[in-house]
Amino acid sequence: MTGTYGVPVVDMKTGGPEFAQRFGTGLEKVGFVVIVNHGIEARLLKRVYEIARQVFALPTEIKKKYETPETGRQVGYTPFQMEHAKGSDLPDLKEFWHLVRPGNRSYLNVFPDEIPEFEMIMPELFRSLDKISVRLIRALEYYFHYSPNQLEELVQEGNSVLRVLHYPDIVPGMEGVRSAAHEDINFLTLMVAATAAGLEIKNRDGVWIPVHHPPGSIVVNAGDMLELFTFGKFPSTTHRVINPAKPDGGRYSLPFFVQPRPEVPLVTAGGFLAQRLRENRVMT
């Protein structure tokens, strides 16, 4: 099954080797795949977005109580126009909240006292996306003919992050874009379909194309770490979120960044040498 503009749409209900082949091929050829029938209930996603709206509607001075600059903002609130894409002079037009795995050895999650349901529902979404990420990692193991658990072991109890993202309505004359062109640094990203359009990827011809996805689907893409680990077989595709042509009431999305444990080595000296010899065309 192929989505509009060539971004593959893969049904997780297919399961087994067929799903692994379709998922792996899509990720290898495009860098992005849309997943449907993933098992997360629509009622959970609906409620998550309702709670997210309540949190970001809080006054700025209240939200800023939950900043954690001492952690590099790995948890808690990051204010509007704080984050810059690599190489961009202008800040992105977004604000967000980070959550890490319960029991994370480095950081403790921070939750807003004003919206207690946020603390109840976001860990549930984290666990659901974490389980789906394991299924996707296992599919990649099959696709690569790796031994069982070879990839899964890297991300077990890893420093994965759930980002609850809010792109406010665009104010006329405001400089910048919602999310400037960038690649994800992590292993794999799972992003629950956003509440509004705007996501674009740069294809291998250098052309920007929009990513359309069914409601409630999950957009999956490879990050820099997976590209490094696979010596470029899975590209970390450049993407962005453009501004709407007219006010859209704001945009919300829920990217889940799958990351290995900090101590996991992603490439060996021998693997790096082999990659360079292939790039120099002295080794196939």
Summarize pLDDT for 81-139 with one digit per residue, the tens: 999 888 888 999 999 999 999 878 788 999 999 999 999 999 999 999 999 999 999 99
Phi, psi of 269 (to 5 degrees): -60, -40
Tell me the pLDDT band of 182, cut-offs 50, 70 and 90.
very high
Using the predicted structure, report yes or no on whether residue 270 has a pLDDT greater than 70: no
CB 114 within 8 A of CB 57: no
Burial tier of 264 (Cβ tally within 10 Å: 0-12, 13-18, 19+): middle
Q: Tell me, what's the pLDDT at 158?
A: 85
pLDDT mean across residues, the chain? 89
176 closest CA partner among 57, 254, 94, 60: 94
The CB density around residue 262, as the number of other CB atoms within 10 Å, is 9
Q: Give this prediction's pTM.
A: 0.91
What distance in Å separates the CA atoms of residue 251 and residue 53, rounded to the nearest whole number? 10
Q: Tell me, what's the pLDDT at 278?
A: 61
Using the predicted structure, report yes or no on whether residue 281 has a pLDDT greater than 70: no
Report, as an integer, the average pLDDT of 21-49.
Answer: 95
- Find where tokens 């959970």 sit: 44
The CB density around residue 110, as the number of other CB atoms within 10 Å, is 18
Q: Fold for 4-279, please state it.
A: Jelly Rolls (2.60.120)
Tell me the pLDDT band of 215, cut-offs 50, 70 and 90.
confident
